[in-house]
Amino acid sequence: MKNFKQGKNHLDFLEDIQYDDINTLKQLIRNISTSNLSNNSSTVCCIIADIKQLIKTPGLLTPRQQFVVTEYLIRDKLQQEIANMINTSQQNVSLILKSALTRIQRYLRTNKINWIKWSQQEQDFLIQNYGSMDVHEIANKLGKPVSRVVSMYHYLKRK
């Protein structure tokens, strides 16, 4: 692993892992390997299994986030490869990953899913009023952050 020294029993580096740091969480998911861990491989496999289970937790991640996280962290594909697969930019793949890892971290800390799917009524209201109403006003009426309103609008326009 890049940033973790493996100790005598090859699991000492796990003590340095903190789930409140996105980069550390990403490296843990992406770089953990059972090939060098003879007697303790079951412990590491449990960590990988937990991450895979988190990805499949209903409502935690969007289908697009699930796909990107799986391809990037588990199947070890490059962001540009994933971008080509889903017809988007590498930068957008990076944003999707960051958003997904943030959701996973929040869920690990609180054991709650804070993300709520947009209803069809909310989507219709957004499309009808975006551009004619102030974005902050739309966000207040929908009870959503401005950033989510803007990103949902652009998502719906591309759809």
Residue type at 147? S
Report the pLDDT value the prediction gives residue 58, as an integer from 0 to 100: 81
% of the chain at pLDDT higher than 70: 67
DSSP class per residue in 16-84: G--TT-HHHHHHHHHH--STT-TTTHHHHHHHHHHHHHHHTSTTTS-HHHHHHHIIIIIS---HHHHHH
Q: How far apart are CA 58 and CA 60, in angstroms?
A: 6
Does residue 50 carry a pLDDT above 60? yes
Band of pLDDT at residue 136, cut at 50, 70 and 90:
very high
35: pLDDT confidence band, cut at 50, 70 and 90? very low
% of the chain at pLDDT higher than 90: 26
The mean pLDDT of the chain is: 75
Residue spans per domain, the chain: 12-110, 120-158
Percent helix, strand, coil in the chain, to 5, is: 65, 0, 35
The confidence score (pLDDT) of residue 151 equals 85
Instruction: Output the pLDDT for position 101.
Output: 83
pTM: 0.53
pLDDT at 62 over 60: yes
